[in-house]
Structure 1
Amino acid sequence: MGEFRPVADVLLYLAGSWRAERTVRDLAGMDEGTFTGTTLFSPLDDGGLLHHESGTFVWQGVARPAERTLRFLPGTAPGTADVRFSDGRPFHDLDLTSGQWVTDHPCAADLYRGEFTVLDADHWRTVWRVAGPAKDLILTTDYTRTADDTRDRP
């Protein structure tokens, strides 16, 4: 990936509403799906953010509602985050102080490798490569800050 933008505080940067557009490619079966929706990062009492994503996932021509919730908590270093599933289990760390971050999440026999890239104040991208005996996927999500998000941007 080309240029990226360093972010001093990942939680401050992510706060607000984003349009999410995701492609899901199954490299084994060559199927492709899409997710289109909204991701809202809203404040938690502990200084973190509640990440709620909702929209429509289309797979093999069938559209279904889809949603997920994560918790982005303050990380161990200033400006970083500790990302957790909604039930509190650890997911991954996140440090965008250089504008880009690569992290892993082992899930049973599969390995999720995520690459996060900040493109500018209103655009960022994640690419998750999922490999293992049960999965061979690439999930690419482009996030665009929504026009109704009028907060001050870092």
Structure 2
Amino acid sequence: MSGTARYWPVPDVLAHLAGCWRVERTVEDLASGALGRFEGTTSFSPLPGGGLLHEEAGSFTWQGVTRPAERTLRFLPGAAPGTADVRFADGRPFHDLDLTSGRYVADHPCSADLYRGEFTVRDADHWRTVWRVGGPAKDLVLTTDYTRDVPQAPASPAPGA
């Protein structure tokens, strides 16, 4: 590739995300240089009435201490076909998501902080989010790689078994 990013267009973000994904996230505090890491899984399962329930669970390591971590979001049908309206578990708005070009940038103001997320899709089984968080007390970059968790095909029985 000649330095030009390639994105994989997604005509329907909800259909694309449905299922289970392996998750690896790095958290970098640009002010202190501290690094954290999350590893786990994300499941996008159908919600009654449409949309997907996003449930993430795993382990987060920060400054040498590993703890369980989880979050829940709701991905609802968006205003335009194939898009999503992403909300926190309690229903508060988070951001819109439109991956029809394979790339999307979303902003989420939170008190004095601004979260700016860039979503990119590499292919049918890999996508990434990079959130840049800035504010009076925050200067972070959160990079998350998602890989579709495809079940392995069952082994063929041995001949004569």
> TM-score, length-normalised on structure 2?
0.91
- 2:65 corresponds to which letter in structure 1? V
Instruction: List gaps (5 residues or longer) in structure 1.
Output: none
Query: Where in structure 2 are there 5+ consecutive unaligned residues?
Result: 154-161
User: What's 2:52 paired with?
Assistant: 49
The Cα shift of 1:47 comes to 1.2
Corresponding position of 2:102 = 99
Instruction: Figure out how many residues of one structure are paired with residues of the other and give that number.
Output: 150
Q: Is the 8 A contact 1:16 1:149 kept in 2?
A: no
TM-score relative to the length of structure 1: 0.95
User: Which whole-Å CA distance do the structure 2 matches of 1:4 and 1:98 have between them?
Assistant: 7
What is the Cα deviation at residue 46 of structure 1?
1.7
Bigger radius of gyration: 2
Q: Is residue 84 of structure 2 the alignment partner of residue 81 of structure 1?
A: yes
Among the aligned pairs, what percent are the same residue?
74
Within 5 Å, which residues of 2 pair with 1:2-151?
2-148=5-151
* C-alpha separation in 2, matches of 1:140 and 1:73: 23
| AA at the equivalent of 1:103 | A
User: RMSD of the alignment, in Å?
Assistant: 1.2
**Residues in 1 aligned to 2:135 and 2:151: alpha-carbon distance in whole angstroms:** 40
Cα-to-partner distance string for 1:24-70 (whole Å, 9 max, x where unaligned): 00000100000000000000012100000000000001000000000
